[in-house]
Amino acid sequence: MHRHRSDVLVTILPLLLLLAGCSDKSTPPPGPPAHDTPAVAAPATDWPQFRGDPGLTGVAPGRLPDQPALLWTYATEGPVNSSAVVADGRVFVGSNDGKLHAINLSDGQPLWTYATGEAVEAPPLALGGRVYVGDTLGILHAVDAASGRLLWKFVTGDKIIGAANWFVHEGRTNLLVGSHDFSLYSINAATGATNWVYATDNLINGTPAVGDGIVVFGGCDALLHVVSAVSGAEVKQVDAGAYVAGSVGLKDGRAYYGHYENEYLCVDLAGGTNVWSYRARNFPYFSSPAINDGRVLFGGRDKRLHCVDSSTGDELWTFATRGKVDSSPVACGDKVVVGSEDGRLYMVAIADGAERWSYDVGRPLTASPAIAEGRIIIGSEDGNVYCFGSD
């Protein structure tokens, strides 16, 4: 059993502090402390976090042009595996060049960079005028969204690959982030102080999903963990079938995810029971789902984008690319957008899987697209961030 309780904190925190080589988890913000108030929800046209919302449903509002044009590119100095987010007219994205980049959404001009000192593969979280992002050294950084000024750091015992998520309790905004040190952390968003730590038996690679007061995530311990957001207490564990490298999507009390042993699954969280499992070919799934209008869409290492019925798991269609699809699709209107390791960004009709448009970047796209204000933003292993929209 993996429960949060006071003795877990007493046991785990000194060990993690020793591993991190520091005397305190957080570095206090310079100047007056931030007010401990809930963050204001982002405008509906923004894409402020990985998969768009705390449930990680992968659905963007609005509509996309039928034939998007390349509007701008922005060059970093390393591969971009981090998925971008968009808030208040700014694009935030990490790069393997060891920096978090802030870019003007309208024209692609640089606004600021913040140096983490280590590769940033995790997607950022833009929330309440701040940006939170983890790096491969295992540090979660909180910076001011307008200036890029450091506010605080939170140190874990190993790399952070998934994005932070968030919830509000009793007027306080709290963050949730998983680490390769086998732990999920709840952190005060204002100060960087620890609320609780939940221990697992292996790496946490994805972003925790949040809904109805619970946190749901899979890990390399081959378990689906369901945890109280407020206390960190274990609600239940479900056999995931194999290790889960991607993030879980939550919708209407059900969790949707893929695992390394070639299946995509739907689990009823109330009962902890399997609703359906989908196995098309013997290839793993690293892509997180888009859950939209009775359909679940996800990429596979079989070089396909899959669409299944959300109630039954029956295959509705597949769309073939020429490379692995670890990128997580985003549904918008009647279209779905996804990248492939064949170097192309694809836009596909949700109704029948017909290709509507594609763009050849020339290098693998493992990051997931962000969609905001009718624009598509995605980073590439060529080190560039691309923005597409109406010309």
Q: Are 324 and 339 in contact (CB under 8 A)?
A: no
Q: Please, which pLDDT band fits residue 1 given cuts at 50, 70 and 90?
A: very low
3-state class (DSSP) for residue 217: strand
> Per residue in 89-99, pLDDT tens?
999 999 999 99
For the chain, state the CA radius of gyration.
19
Please check the confidence at residue 85 and state whether its pLDDT lies above 50.
yes
For residues 179 and 187, what is the distance between their CA atoms, to the nearest angstrom?
Answer: 13
* Whether the predicted pLDDT of 276 surpasses 80: yes
Q: How far apart are CA 156 and CA 149, in angstroms?
A: 21
Residue 281 confidence (pLDDT)? 85
Q: What is the DSSP string of 270-324?
A: TTTEEEEEE-SSS----PPPEEETTEEEEE-TTSEEEEEETTT--EEEEEE-SS-
Spatial strand order in the sheet of 344-349: 59-60, 330-332, 335-339, 344-349, 355-360
Q: Is the pLDDT of residue 16 over 70?
A: no
Domain 6-389 is of which CATH architecture?
Answer: 7 Propeller (2.130)
Mean local confidence (pLDDT), 303-310? 98
Tens digit of each residue's pLDDT (9 = 90 or more) over 124-165 = 999 999 999 999 999 999 999 999 999 999 999 999 999 999
Q: How far is Cα of residue 350 from the mean position of the Cα atoms in its chain?
A: 22
pLDDT in tens, 336-391: 999 999 999 999 999 999 999 999 999 999 999 999 999 999 999 999 999 999 98
Whole-number pLDDT of residue 101: 98
Section 311-339 average pLDDT: 98
Spatial contact of 236 and 267, defined as CB atoms under 8 Å apart: no
Mean pLDDT value of segment 218-231? 97
Task: For the chain, give the mean pLDDT.
Answer: 91
Query: What pLDDT is attached to residue 41?
Result: 61
State yes or no: pLDDT of 19 exceeds 60. no
Q: What is the mean pLDDT of residues 75-86?
A: 98
Mean of pLDDT values over 221-249: 96
- pLDDT the model gives residue 391: 81
At 36, the pLDDT band (50, 70, 90 cuts) reads low
pLDDT > 90? residue 27: no
Positive or negative: CA dihedral 333, 339, 340, 343:
positive
Predicted pLDDT of residue 39: 66
Give the separation between CA 310 and CA 266, rounded to whole angstroms. Answer: 8
Q: What does the pLDDT read at residue 245?
A: 92
CA distances from 387 to 137, 165, 287 (A): 29, 24, 21
pLDDT score, position 42: 65
- Cα 144 to Cα 124: distance, rounded to the nearest angstrom: 13
